[in-house]
C-alpha cells in the first residue's frame, strides 16, 4: 500500500534568519515523525521529505504560513516505504552549490518553460520561432546514466559546481539555439539558465519543475530511462514510482 507521501520543493528567497528557522523546522518535522532533508541558506530553501500524507501536508501548511513560502508548491509521489533514515535540517552557504556568487535567483528568475511546451517543441523539432531546440542536462554524470531526454547534451560533470567551467568550454555549441536546461526538480537548471544568460546566450530557458514535474504532466514523452533521486528509492519511472516497488507489486499483486 502506497501510504508514504514524498515531496520535494525549493524556493530562492532571502532568508537572513536561516539559523533560527532551522531550529523551528527541525522541531516541527521531528514532532510529526517526518524524515528527509531540509537545506536552508541565505538564498532560500530546498527540501526532500517523506511521511504519512496528513503529516506531510500539515508541515507544508506550516511552511506556507510564512509569507516567504506562501507560494511553495511541492512535487509529490507516493511509496510503500519510508525512503529516508533520519530527519536533517541544515544551514548551508548555498542550497545548491555553484560557487558563482553573481548568480542570485532570488533577484530574478530565468525564463521557465512549462512541461507541455517542452513536449510540444520536442514533438515538432523546433520552438515556436522555428529555432532548433536542445535540452541540456545539468545533473551529474551518474544521475544521467539512469536516464535523460533523447539527444540531451551531457557534459559529464561530476558535481554541479563544475557547471560554470563546462559552460565556458562548450558555450559555442549552444549559440543560435533555444536551450532548455533541466534537472531533477528545477533547482539546478534555474541557476544554470541564469549563468548561461549572464554568459550572453539569448534563448535560454529552464524546464519548470524539472524532470519530476515533466513526468507528472506529460507521462515522460521523449525521456528514456528513469530519473535518479537522492533517497533509498534510487530512481523513479515516468509514473513517479520506484521500479523496485513496481516489481514487488507485479509479483505479489498481479492484475
Going by pLDDT thresholds of 50, 70 and 90, the confidence category of residue 244 is low
Output the pLDDT for position 39.
97
* In a shared domain, residues 114 and 231: yes
CA distance 186 to 206: 7
- Residue 49's Cβ-count burial label (10 Å; 0-12, 13-18, 19+) is buried
* In a shared domain, residues 232 and 122: yes
* In a shared domain, residues 176 and 59: no
CA distance 96 to 210: 15
* For residues 116-125, average pLDDT: 97
42: domain CATH number?
3.30.70.100
Residue 113 within any structural domain of the chain: yes
Q: For residue 185, what is the DSSP state?
A: S
Among the listed ranges 130-134, 143-147, 230-234, which one has the minimum average pLDDT value? 230-234
Number of domains in the chain: 2
CA distance 250 to 255: 8
C-alpha to C-alpha distances, 197 to 37, 38, 156, 218, 231, nearest whole angstrom: 30, 29, 21, 27, 32
Q: Can you say whether the dihedral through the CA atoms of 154, 140, 188, 10 is positive or negative?
A: positive
Residue 127 within any structural domain of the chain: yes
In DSSP terms, 18 is beta-bridged to none
Q: Domain limits at 193?
A: 105-243
**What residues are labeled active site?**
183
* In a shared domain, residues 132 and 87: no
Residue 129 within any structural domain of the chain: yes
In DSSP terms, 136 is beta-bridged to 153, 181
* In a shared domain, residues 116 and 217: yes
pLDDT tens track for 207-232: 999 999 999 999 999 999 999 998 88
Beta strands, E only, the chain: 4-12, 35-41, 44-52, 75-79, 87-91, 112-113, 133-137, 147-149, 153-154, 178-182, 204-207, 223-225, 227-228, 235-236
CA distance 139 to 187: 10
Output the pLDDT for position 250.
40
* For residues 231-236, average pLDDT: 90
CA distance 66 to 21: 11
238: domain CATH number?
3.40.250.10
Residue 99 within any structural domain of the chain: no
Looking up cell 555549441, which residue turns up?
Answer: 173
Going by pLDDT thresholds of 50, 70 and 90, the confidence category of residue 5 is very high
* In a shared domain, residues 128 and 163: yes
pLDDT at 154 over 70: yes
Give residues with Cβ within 8 angstroms of 100, minimum separation 6: 164, 191, 195
pTM of the entire predicted model: 0.86
- Tell me what the pLDDT averaged over the chain comes to: 92
* In a shared domain, residues 116 and 236: yes
* In a shared domain, residues 116 and 15: no
* For residues 62-90, average pLDDT: 95
pLDDT at 173 over 60: yes
Amino acid at each position: 500500500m502506497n501510504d508514504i507521501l514524498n515531496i520535494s520543493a525549493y524556493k530562492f528567497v532571502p532568508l537572513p534568519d536561516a539559523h533560527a528557522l532551522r531550529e523551528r523546522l527541525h522541531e516541527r518535522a521531528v514532532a510529526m515523525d517526518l524524515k528527509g532533508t531540509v537545506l536552508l541558506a541565505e538564498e532560500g530553501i530546498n527540501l526532500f521529505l517523506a511521511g504519512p500524507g496528513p503529516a506531510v501536508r500539515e508541515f507544508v501548511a506550516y511552511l506556507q504560513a510564512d509569507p516567504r513560502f506562501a507560494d511553495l508548491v511541492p512535487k509529490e509521489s507516493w511509496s510503500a516505504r519510508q525512503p529516508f533514515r533520519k530527519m536533517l535540517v541544515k544551514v548551508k552557504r548555498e542550497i545548491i552549490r555553484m560557487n558563482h556568487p553573481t548568480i542570485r535567483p532570488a533577484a530574478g528568475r530565468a525564463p521557465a518553460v512549462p512541461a507541455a511546451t517542452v513536449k510540444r517543441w520536442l514533438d515538432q523539432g523546433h520552438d515556436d520561432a522555428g529555432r532548433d531546440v536542445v535540452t541540456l542536462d545539468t545533473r551529474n554524470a551518474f544521475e544521467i546514466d539512469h536516464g535523460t531526454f533523447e539527444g540531451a547534451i551531457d557534459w559529464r560533470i561530476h558535481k554541479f559546481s563544475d557547471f560554470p567551467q563546462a559552460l565556458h568550454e562548450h558555450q559555442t555549441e549552444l549559440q543560435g539555439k533555444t536551450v532548455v536546461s533541466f534537472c531533477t526538480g528545477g533547482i539546478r537548471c534555474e541557476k544554470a539558465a541564469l549563468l548561461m544568460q549572464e554568459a550572453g546566450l539569448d534563448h535560454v530557458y529552464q524546464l519548470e519543475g524539472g524532470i519530476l514535474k515533466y513526468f507528472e504532466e506529460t507521462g515522460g514523452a521523449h525521456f528514456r530511462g528513469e530519473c535518479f533521486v537522492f533517497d533509498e528509492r534510487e530512481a523513479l519511472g515516468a509514473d513517479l514510482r520506484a521500479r523496485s516497488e513496481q516489481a514487488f507489486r507485479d509479483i505479489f499483486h498481479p492484475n
